[in-house]
Amino acid sequence: MNIEEQVSYLMRGTEYGDEELKEAMADELHQRLVEAQNEGRVLKVYCGYDPTKSDLHLGHTITMRKLRQFQELGHEVTFLIGTYTSLIGDPSDKNKLRPQLTPEEVEHNAQTYAQQAFNILDPEKTQIRYNAEWLSQLNFADLIRLASNFTLQQFISRENFKLRWEKGDAVYLHETFYAIMQGYDAYSLKTDVQVGGTDQLFNIVTAARKVMTSLGEKPNIAVIMGILPGTDGEIRMSKSLGNHIPILAPPDEMYGKVMSLPDKAMGVYFRLATRLSAAEIDQLEAGIADGSLHPRDAKMKLAREIVEIFHDQQAALDAEKNFVRVFQKHDLPEDMPEYALQSGQTVLDVLEASGMIKSRSEGRRLINQKGVRLDGEVLDDPNQPFPHAGVLQAGKRRFTKVN
């Protein structure tokens, strides 16, 4: 690609909420690419991920996919794990205080992040760094110097802080440190480009660029990605809300979750979460609009693509085959786990012992929602003795053969 084509490719899927800002960042990216080419170097690019949980979901991978695009063009990518920023917790997308993690929790979660990221990133072209390397070395004088670049008004005017302030909820001073710490990450890595979601606009565009400039570095360029909605198609994907698609999910579960998306969410999923080109996506959307392509078929293509990214082509085809059999032909999966029924067990006991539910409260909720069946018949009493051997179904996608 020439430089103009690179800029167009790398700005695909970006969202700034301000067209002038987007154009400014695109212009800066173009200029930095020209400078790098003249200097015979590549761009340094990074994105940071706080290990607040031990597993990643599809929403986390949107920025990783952008990092992968930079890798494809030969640029240098750093996957930064926020082992120090996690001790505070990013308040950017929260309307309440984020719980602080212990160093032990952070270390445990961080160990899984890099390996999961390699489902998207090229491991041979990815540098893994931890921001405790430099943030743990700052002293109080350093913090005062960095903080002097910002006003309280800049923080209090942020929407999430403003809402909490107006509601009378506490806004803690340590929460304002997060943006400063992230800015120091960018300075320490001496990067040309920082990738992040729209919730990171303040942290990148305001804080990181200001910190880098104040410390004598050229400010990095913000590549801001849209936020992937969850399986409800409305609210951002979140494990705590239960609308997430884990990237470690088995193929059948991943395929089924994508198929549960409302049709209106397909466009953003195709653009942010797949490898399809803009032209291919435009063609799919045109087909849906003119009636030549059924939305169900488009969604099946989306589900195949996502499963293939995190598993492989055969796993995607098998997952589709199982989905069609179970949900379109109302048949049973060819392969399902088996469980040997024990004397005196109730319906709830079997659900728990067979591993079909994570907790007894989840089992009761499924039963109350008429979501538990034995050979197709609804079981509505969690405490009744398990009726007989047969195929037990919990929810839409979990089956066990009870013997």
pLDDT at 91: 55
- Dihedral angle, C-alpha 198, 202, 203, 209, nearest 10 °: 120
Strand duo 193-197 + 44-49: pairing: parallel
Residue 333 lies in a domain: no
Residue 109 pLDDT > 80, yes or no? no
Q: What is the mean pLDDT of residues 1-20?
A: 92
Listed residues 267, 299, 328: the one ending a domain? 328
pLDDT at 7: 96
| Residue 41 near residue 10, CB atoms below 8 Å | no
pLDDT at 97: 47
Q: At what angle do helices 3-10 and 19-39 cross, to 10 degrees?
A: 140
Q: What is the mean pLDDT of residues 343-359?
A: 93
Residue 92 pLDDT > 80, yes or no? no
Give the DSSP letter of residue 11: T
Residues 297 and 384 in one domain: no
Residues 274 and 207 in one domain: no
Beta bridge partners of 391: 401
pLDDT at 166: 83
Give the DSSP letter of residue 80: E
CA neighbours closer than 13 Å in the CB half-sphere of residue 102? 3
Mean pLDDT of the chain: 88
Residues 294 and 201 in one domain: no
pLDDT at 353: 94
Residue 398 pLDDT > 50, yes or no? yes
The rounded percent of the chain whose pLDDT value lies above 70 is 96
Residue 96 pLDDT > 50, yes or no? no
Q: How many domains does the chain have?
A: 3
Residue pLDDT, tens place only, 224-246: 998 899 999 988 888 777 889 98
Residues 323 and 345 in one domain: no
CATH code for position 302: 1.10.240.10
pLDDT at 329: 61
Highest mean pLDDT among 25-29, 249-253, 368-372: 25-29
Residue 221 pLDDT > 50, yes or no? yes
Give the DSSP H or E segment for 165.
Answer: helix 159-167
Residue pLDDT, tens place only, 142-180: 999 999 999 888 888 777 778 888 888 887 788 888 889
CATH code for position 48: 3.40.50.620
Residues 106 and 77 in one domain: yes
Residue 255 pLDDT > 60, yes or no? yes
Listed residues 328, 358, 393: the one ending a domain? 328
Residue 243 lies in a domain: no
Count Cβ neighbours within 10 Å for each residue of 125-134 and write b for 16 or more, e otherwise. ebeebbbbeb
Listed residues 328, 348, 367: the one ending a domain? 328
Residues 22 and 120 in one domain: yes
pLDDT at 376: 76
Residue 273 pLDDT > 60, yes or no? yes
Query: The tokens of 225 are what?
Result: 């990605």
CATH code for position 376: 3.10.290.10
Residue 300 lies in a domain: yes
SS3 79: strand
Q: Pick the residue with more confidence: 167 or 42?
A: 42
pLDDT at 170: 81
Domain that holds residue 260: 251-328
Q: What is the mean pLDDT of residues 31-44?
A: 96
Residue 137 lies in a domain: yes
Q: How far apart are the first and last CA of the chain?
A: 60
Q: Pick the residue with more confidence: 163 or 251?
A: 251
Q: What is the mean pLDDT of residues 258-264?
A: 92
The confidence band for 99, taking pLDDT boundaries of 50, 70 and 90, is low
Q: What is the mean pLDDT of residues 245-261?
A: 91
Residue 333 pLDDT > 80, yes or no? no
Residue 93 pLDDT > 80, yes or no? no
Residue 230 lies in a domain: no
Residue 331 pLDDT > 90, yes or no? no
